[in-house]
Structure 1
Amino acid sequence: MITTAADDGPWLDEQAGRLVRPYTVSNGRTRPTADLDLLTHVTTTAHPAAGHPGPEHARALRLARTTVTVAELAARLRLPVAVAKVVVSDLVEAGLVHVEEPSCLRAPADPAVLRQVRDELRRRL
């Protein structure tokens, strides 16, 4: 039986799973054009979508109304992370989302803290 939930539409089957293969969602592309990692924050911009985005792109836009990470988008879209990154890259190129690395990745790590972590790991292992 094909589910018709508002989030999934006819793209998921209760018994068979995803009816559209991930490479179809990304048009066969395996690499994103934007520099993204799992913790990259994604938020929609004020620009309206021109044309008709694909179902995964439209769902990603709905989910990114509040800031979400690439990892969370992938999980909620039920897509492999590599495919979700391609979807987010498409949205970045269209100017529909803004991406930003989390602040914990922007600031260089304090060497003293890193030494403490190293020492504690050595002690425990």
Structure 2
Amino acid sequence: MSREHEWVDEEAGPVVRPYAVARGRTRSASSEVDLLASVVATGSPAPANAELSAQHRRLMTCVAGQNRPVVEIASDLGLPVGVVRVLLGDLLQYGLVTVRPPRDKAATPSESLLREVINGLRAL
């Protein structure tokens, strides 16, 4: 039996290993691509030398016009976070996306404040 095209079922299509999607790379070309970082498409056209796969294009569609966290993008695309980080690193190098670091922890509400809000809502 040939494993050239391993299929899960007709609807799912062939199985593609994550390392194949990321072309064997395990790390992003950019250290900016944090799990909680937000990504948005820049709207710039792809440069002539850009090698964009179908997964790159799916990712661009996912972030077009909206600011989304890396983990949410991975979930929507059904890809491992590590693969999405590699693909985002490529898009960042081509200037097709902007990556914003996660919000500063000092800007987020404290646990005690959140508990007070929850208790207040429960009291209603």
TM-score, normalisation: structure 1? 0.69
Q: Percent identity?
A: 35
The offset of 1:19, in angstroms, is 1.8
Give, in whole Å, the separation in 1 of the partners of 2:16 and 2:90. Answer: 18
Give, in whole Å, the separation in 2 of the partners of 1:46 and 1:83. Answer: 22
2:37 to 36, 40, 56: 40
Q: How many residues in Structure 1 have an aligned counterpart in Structure 2?
A: 101
Specify every segment of 5 or more residues in structure 1 that has no aligned partner in the other structure, as ranges: 4-11, 117-125
Alignment map for 1:15-34 (pairs within 5 Å): 19-34=15-30
Specify every segment of 5 or more residues in structure 2 that has no aligned partner in the other structure, as ranges: 1-8, 113-124
Does residue 68 of the first structure (1) align with residue 64 of the second (2)? no
The residue number in structure 1 matching 2:95 is: 95
The offset of 1:108, in angstroms, is 7.8
Instruction: Give the residue type in structure 2 aligned to 1:76.
Output: D
Higher RCO by CA contacts (8 Å cutoff, separation 6 or greater): 2
TM-score, normalisation: structure 2? 0.69
The offset of 1:94, in angstroms, is 0.8
Give, in whole Å, the separation in 2 of the partners of 1:97 and 1:38. Answer: 15
The offset of 1:37, in angstroms, is 1.7
Alignment map for 1:68-87 (pairs within 5 Å): 68-87=68-87
Superposed CA RMSD in Å reads: 2.4
The residue number in structure 2 matching 1:53 is: 52
- Give the match's secondary structure for 2:104: helix
